Structure 1
Amino acid sequence: MSVQVAKWQTSAAPFRENSCMLSLIPCQAKSDDLEGTLSGESIILDEQTLQRDLQNAIEEENYAQAARIRDDLRVLHENSKASVLAANSRFYDAFRRGDLAAMQNLWAKGDDVCCVHPGANGISGYDFVMESWEVVWMNYEFPLEIELKNVQVHVKGDAGYVTCMEFIKTKGSSWGGQFVTNVFERINGQWCICIHHASLVDL
């Protein structure tokens, strides 16, 4: 195991002994906000092109065309939100099942990705982040339960983020809560997670 992950494991030990830390474990997403969002993933439109066309239409005083482009941008924005929520749902499904292969496929590849597990230091770099999930999952049985509340999604261009309250329960434990921010980047038409930050919340 790498030195960086080994340090994380040592610093996180008290966390794993704390029942609240159980919220690290994968969970069963029950939020209504995640239902029916997978269809948005098939939408790959160029927002920058639409913005440029809108500007041209305004400059040419073609206001009917500008209004149509604005409507297209509004639809694109809403569909992008659905796509980000779908990616967030897939993240929690992999989390709930402890599925490392699925988790690996969801993350952007690179040294600039970052993961902050509750009660632990931040971990940067794709390989280190994946190793951290292996460490987290070592002591738990799957599947786990999770409920997401107060889910909010924001998208601008090729970047989007989801904030929510995450409640996780393992066998024989009570619910643990975290406030979570998941940041996504659209790469080649696919929304990939690049930052996961979870902070413990007293219930």
Structure 2
Amino acid sequence: MSSAPPPFASPDETEALFYECLQRGDIETLMSLWSDDDEIVCVHPGGRRLVGLAQIRTAFELMFANGCLNIRPDHVRRVQTLTTAVHSVLETVGLGSGDKPRVGYVLATNVYVKTPQGWRMVCHHATPGTMGETQDTAQGPTTLH
């Protein structure tokens, strides 16, 4: 079992290591990035809501059983307060190998909280995306009623 990562000064550092762990298949370091709160949540594309470290760990172990995940974060949008950060991420997913590798896209929301151990993940919610999401669209301010 590897040791816990050092306290991260920013949610960006935690997120960078999260995606590195997916690419390496490093379950121990990946799980150490999560908060130890009982109510942490993970939803994989097309999957059910997983609550707590044990359920989340089992899901990632099953995914890593098929090899590492070729996922990189792109087009990250950030909202941050002193203790919470929400990142909206377009994930680019490499699918297949050989002569005709393909690319897929996933939209993910990653939520981080600042703890005494540094910034830790409390939510990863991912849903299938499309190539159209590679182009950011922004509109002017709106008012919700």
Question: Which TM class, normalised by the smaller chain length?
Answer: 0.7 to 0.9
Shift in Å, 1:171: 4.1
Aligned with 1:106 (options 21, 33, 36): 33
Aligned with 1:96 (options 11, 23, 26): 23
Measured in 1, the distance between the counterparts of 2:27 and 2:41 equals 17
* 8 Å CA contact retained: 1:84, 1:153: no
* 8 Å CA contact retained: 2:34, 2:121: yes
Which structure would you say has the larger RCO, counting Cα contacts within 8 Å and 6 or more residues apart? 1
Q: What residue ranges of structure 1 are gaps of 5+ in the alignment?
A: 1-40, 43-82
2:76 corresponds to which residue? 151
Measured in 2, the distance between the counterparts of 1:129 and 1:94 equals 14
Measured in 1, the distance between the counterparts of 2:35 and 2:114 equals 9
Q: How does 1:117-156 map to 2 (within 5 A)?
A: 117-139=44-66, 141-142=67-68, 144-156=69-81
Answer 1 or 2: which has greater helix percent.
1
Name the aligned partner's letter for residue 201 of structure 1: G
Answer 1 or 2: which has greater strand percent.
2
Taking structure 2 as the reference length, the TM-score comes to 0.77
Q: How does 1:49-198 map to 2 (within 5 A)?
A: 83-139=10-66, 141-142=67-68, 144-172=69-97, 173-198=101-126
Taking structure 1 as the reference length, the TM-score comes to 0.56
Measured in 1, the distance between the counterparts of 2:96 and 2:38 equals 35
Measured in 2, the distance between the counterparts of 1:94 and 1:120 equals 20
* 8 Å CA contact retained: 2:95, 2:104: no
* 8 Å CA contact retained: 1:160, 1:185: yes
* 8 Å CA contact retained: 2:74, 2:91: yes
Which secondary structure state, in structure 2, belongs to the residue aligned with residue 165 of structure 1? Answer: strand
Shift in Å, 1:164: 1.3
* 8 Å CA contact retained: 1:85, 1:162: no
Distance 1:128 1:145, change over 3 A: closer
Which secondary structure state, in structure 1, belongs to the residue aligned with residue 102 of structure 2? Answer: coil
Computing the radius of gyration from Cα coordinates, the structure with the larger value is: 1
Name the aligned partner's letter for residue 36 of structure 2: K
- Number of aligned pairs? 122
Q: What residue ranges of structure 2 are gaps of 5+ in the alignment?
A: 1-7, 132-145
* Cα offsets for 1:145-192 (capped at 9, x unmatched): 333322111111211111111011044141111111000011105000
- What is the RMSD computed on CA atoms of the aligned residues? 1.8
Measured in 2, the distance between the counterparts of 1:129 and 1:145 equals 19
Identity %: 24
Measured in 1, the distance between the counterparts of 2:56 and 2:75 equals 26
